[in-house]
Chain A
Amino acid sequence: MKLGDDKRLDLYRVMVRIRTFENGVRQLINDGKVGYVSFYTGGEAVAAAVSAHLVKEDQIGSTHRPLGHLIAKGADLKRMMAEIAGKATGTNKGKGGAYHIFDKEVGALGANGIVGGSVPMAAGYALANQLKDTDNVSISYFGEGASNQGGVQETLNLAACWKLPMVFVCENSSPEEQTMLGHKIDYPQLSITDISQRAPAYGMPGESHPGWDVEEVYKIAGEAIQRARRGEGPTLLEFKIHRLNADEDSPHCPIKCYRDKLMMDGVLSKELDDKIRSEEAAKVKEAMDFAVGSPEPELVDAYSDIFVEGA
């Protein structure tokens, strides 16, 4: 499979958008406008490549590090940023925060504050697609910590038993040395090298790959997604990533890796890179201004949306 220049630049642009957006959140935190957010930085290649195969009518279930997944799926940047700032104009009217962002219009269903919590729900999205007899699929994102959760294991089994059209995408962010919340742990969380080793035990194919080469992720994810669309059932993919900071210095930075490659291939010039970055920065700036300028929810809003009206 040879990717066209436009497709390659799209992948690059989405990764830049995610990083720029998260750096915008970092700035709002520094400015005291936003509290705490769990960042996705370093995983951009996975979200960008997976979502490049998806249409609006496909769904994703995400994690407590959701911003990359949501942005790649097309969630509205302004309303997302407003939600992160807890404003009334947010995707969730300021009542969910970053950990619970949902943007139903684009199938971003959604962030989840419980480690592994969205995985059974993503099986439900797949079940709905199956019952409606569409070829839409759901993607269930989770991390290596969540991979041990009972609900995740149960859902792998359920998805295989019901042949659900979904792909499990595990982003393993401590591939070389097992860590938890940033510290080295004395006892490992995982007694296996690759999380995909569990796939055959649940009766589905599985593969593990580096997650910082966006084109490799694109290829692997594409095969699994096509398999799900054909009704052949779920796949468990593991991508090894590194949690990074704002800058792009790391050899595992997916944006740096791809920029170097695209420049070497003559697809990306310095001028084009600057143009992409300034365009994305403008979108993020607009989202930040929107969030900062938006009103707080009214006190009365605390009492709405516990139940929806009507039958």
Chain B
Amino acid sequence: MSRTITYAEAICEAQRDALRSDPSVILFGENVAAPWRPATKGLKDEFGKERVRDAPITETAFIGAGVGAAIMGIKPIVELMLIDFGLVAMDQILNQMAKTTYMTGGNVNVPMVLRAIYGARGGGAATHSECLYGIYAHMPGMKVVVPSNPYDAKGLLTTAINDPNPVVFFEHIRLSNMEGEVPEESYSIPFGVANTLREGTDVTVVAVGRMVQEALKAADELKGKISVEVIDPRTLVPLDEEAILRSVQKTGRLVVVDEDYERCGFSAEVAAVVAEKGFHNLKAPVARVANPNVPLPFNKTLENHVLPDAEKIVRAIKNVVK
């Protein structure tokens, strides 16, 4: 049965389901045992301080401990308080977590989920605002999940926890309170399957995370004038290239929306896929609406100036459809 809960509550439910059904699942990170954090609320009380434990503020040590525990057959969910803080633990994430399976020839695997809050919050500045999923998607060996709504968040996190590979799971800070219909029972959403949220014929808009909501606003605003198809790939790795290419075959136009930095990022990847495999279907150049390679400024006016939003997406759509 479905009822309305928030994105953060959906994430909490997926973890509760996993902790209940699989004794090898554990959860640790900074402040995960705190009673007020919605994505982990009540979990320590139900499962105890051994399985749900606070870690000292040492991302390298506790993420590495997650990798080690995962190699031993434990299924750790490790919470990184903010994705920006993962930058102090890059060796453990990008070398050990991502590549150990390959480097050992599959001798071991790392069934670990690294959960992280990300995204612009309004005045967080450039160490508390970033997306950075492009960095993680760049490194072979990790799956990268960026849910855009409560239903997807629960289903994708369940899939992540059950995956025998490392998964980085991105939770947008400004989606935390977003409400949506979410089934009470456990369910999973497969990785690599895009969700088409609006069907359209004039232009394809590809977006992930919070930008999906902005893309939907843009599509609504253009209703009756331009027919916009909105596609949410939901996972960057694996990427549902087929869904994107199929849509571009129909619309002939592509706008990629990305809150992350534009250079060498997700938006560039989608544009490259379409350029390589769907070029002959394009009626106009691909447009990107992304952070223009500016570290997120503290000042909110400046921050909004560089962040993609519905208005900028509308402008980009009009440009490619004219």
Q: Which residues of A contact B (CB under 8 A)?
A: 59, 61, 90-96, 100, 102-104, 109-110, 112-114, 117, 119-129, 131, 138, 150-151, 154-155, 157-158, 161-162, 304-311
Contacts and interface: CB of A to CB of B under 8 A. Distances in A.
B95 A59 contact: no
A109 B71 contact: yes
Given A96-B105, A124-B70, A138-B68, 11 more contacts: A102-B100, A120-B60, A120-B67, A124-B76, A127-B69, A154-B61, A155-B60, A155-B61, A158-B58, A305-B105, A308-B106
B102 A154 contact: no
Contact of B165 (A112, A121, A123, A308): A308
Nearest to B71: A109
Interface string B21-41: 000001000000000000000
Interface of B: 26, 50-51, 53, 55-56, 58, 60-74, 76, 88, 91-92, 95-96, 100-109, 140-141, 143, 162-165
Contacts of A121: 64-65, 67-68, 71, 92, 96
B141 A120 contact: no
Contacts of B58: 154-155, 157-158
Contacts of A114: 91, 95-96
Contacts of A95: 102-105
Nearest to A305: B106
25 contacts: A95-B102, A95-B103, A95-B105, A100-B104, A110-B107, A120-B62, A120-B64, A120-B65, A121-B65, A123-B64, A123-B68, A125-B68, A127-B74, A128-B68, A128-B69, A129-B72, A131-B69, A151-B60, A155-B58, A161-B56, A305-B106, A306-B102, A307-B143, A308-B101, A311-B164
Of B62, B68, B102, most A-chain CB atoms within 10 Å:
B68
Contacts of B63: 120
Given A117-B91, A150-B60, A158-B61, A307 B70 contact: no
Contacts of A158: 55-56, 58, 61-62, 65
Nearest to B89: A151
A306 B55 CA distance: 29
A121 B26 CA distance: 16
A121 B74 CA distance: 13
A92 B103 contact: yes
B169 to A, nearest CB: 16
Nearest to A115: B91
* 7 tightest Cβ-Cβ pairs between the two chains A and B: A124-B68, A120-B64, A93-B105, A128-B72, A154-B61, A121-B68, A154-B58
